[in-house]
Amino acid sequence: MTDALPFIDLAAQRRRLGPGVDEAILRVVHHGGYIMGPEVTQLEADLSAFCGAAHVVSCANGTDALALILMAKGLRPGDAVLCPTFTFAATAEVIVWFGATPVFIDVHENTFNLDPASLEEGVRTAQTLGLTPVGVISVDLFGQPADYDAIEPVCAREGLWLLSDAAQSFGATYKGRKVGTIGFATATSFFPAKPLGCYGDGGAVFTDDAELAAVLRSLRIHGQGEDKYDNQRIGMNGRLDTIQAAVLIEKLKIFPDEIAARDRIARRYNDRLGDVAIVPAVLGGATSVWAQYTLRLPGFDREAFQADLKAAGVPTAIYYPKPLHRQTAYRDFPVAGHGLPTSDRIAAEVISLPMHPYLTEPVQDRIAQAVKDALAAQRRIAAE
């Protein structure tokens, strides 16, 4: 067994950050404002300056970011919200929390993001079931934005609001628009494995709507008004703690450089693996922050491939082995049209390789060679 590589090398990032992040944490420890301390306000201002959203409301995690938005919209039973099936459970989970119905839609096989044709089918499906389609949660999977030029006209035509789930794409752009400024609101996550991650859980909502931002700020602290004991609405405890804000302030300083490094590494992967596997593609006019680098391996034994890479010390991950509409908790919710064939197919084909800004060329070459060796071995066996 060869020494195993890290899938995401947070230790390398920590070495680069040096004492700055330690000092930031200690400042919080010393001033004692552990909840809603001054770093929370500073982080929100820094994030706003970074992406251009007029208002940023930080919160406890990416799931709460989605939930706060749906709470502010007054989502209720009888409403239908359309979302991709090829995503993490949180996207659909929050819809169900409010008694509404997720309607699952298919994705494009080349970008893994929402298919507008399936979105239109999903609207018809919801209406046939007597539901009221009210909105869409698009998902920017693996780091790149969905095709909003195709999605937004469908939303406008059908009278649907558009919420961007950017848990994996914060820092990316779509045709000159920065993630955080698309849709009526954007939610993101600062889970440690995300391109911009803290040292625990964290999230944020981005919007240009001042009224919505004010409601969100109330909702994240139990619905409080100007007096914290005069709660004006039913809310939740969704605050980002100050230490996580302090960490994110420091990480945001190096984030642009890390995004550039991720893109350089992804392009190098594509150059080395494009002749042996289906490599990921980025839409024209868009950029990706490469939260994951995901291959498709149609016709190959994925379990054998993973085992061979593990033996070579190369970790892999599968995002996602089972679409939401196939999972126990979600399989009774409606799907667009007559099924979601692309999601079903790619769920059996995808596999992600190590991706982080500190992946050196020699290590990346080792990974690429392990991929080639594993696929060549399967081809030889098939030819015998």
pLDDT digit string, tens, across residues 270-323: 999 999 999 999 999 999 999 999 999 999 999 999 999 999 999 999 999 999
Q: Mark whether 199 and 63 lie in a shared domain.
A: yes
- For the chain, how many structural domains are there in total? 2
Q: Mark whether 134 and 38 lie in a shared domain.
A: yes
Q: 2 in a domain, yes or no?
A: no
Q: Mark whether 227 and 269 lie in a shared domain.
A: no
Could you give the CA distance from residue 157 to residue 223 in angstroms, rounded to a whole number?
33
Q: 5 in a domain, yes or no?
A: no
Nearest to 18 by CA among 222, 277, 360, 253: 253
* Model pLDDT for residues 329-361, shown as the tens digit of each residue: 999 999 999 899 999 999 999 999 999 999 999
pTM over 0.85, yes/no: yes
* Model pLDDT for residues 56-66, shown as the tens digit of each residue: 999 999 999 99
Domain final position from 226, 250, 274: 250
Q: 4 in a domain, yes or no?
A: no
Q: What's the DSSP call for residue 221?
A: B
Q: 235 in a domain, yes or no?
A: yes
Tell me the average pLDDT of the chain. Answer: 97
Q: Mark whether 348 and 302 lie in a shared domain.
A: yes
Q: 3 in a domain, yes or no?
A: no
CATH of the domain at 184: 3.40.640.10
Nearest to 164 by CA among 77, 156, 178: 178
As given in the structure block, the two tokens for residue 111 are 């970008």
Q: Mark whether 222 and 277 lie in a shared domain.
A: no
Handedness of CA 268, 271, 276, 278 (dihedral sign): positive
- Cβ neighbours, 10 Å, residue 224: 17
Q: 332 in a domain, yes or no?
A: yes
CATH of the domain at 282: 3.90.1150.10
Q: 345 in a domain, yes or no?
A: yes
pLDDT tier at 1 (50, 70, 90 boundaries)?
low
Domain final position from 199, 218, 250: 250
Domain final position from 220, 250, 280: 250
* Model pLDDT for residues 33-89, shown as the tens digit of each residue: 999 999 999 999 999 999 999 999 999 999 999 999 999 999 999 999 999 999 999
Q: Is-contact 220 202, C-beta < 8 A?
A: no
* Model pLDDT for residues 185-210, shown as the tens digit of each residue: 999 999 999 999 999 999 999 999 99
Q: Which domain holds residue 24?
A: 10-105+113-250
Q: Mark whether 70 and 192 lie in a shared domain.
A: yes
According to the model, what pLDDT value does residue 165 have?
98
Q: Mark whether 241 and 295 lie in a shared domain.
A: no
What is the CB-side half-sphere exposure of residue 37 using CA atoms within 13 A? 18
Over 80: is that where the pLDDT of 2 sits? no
Q: Is-contact 316 107, C-beta < 8 A?
A: no
Q: What b-and-e string marks burial along 364-373, b requiring 16 or more CB atoms within 10 Å of the CB?
A: bebbbebbee
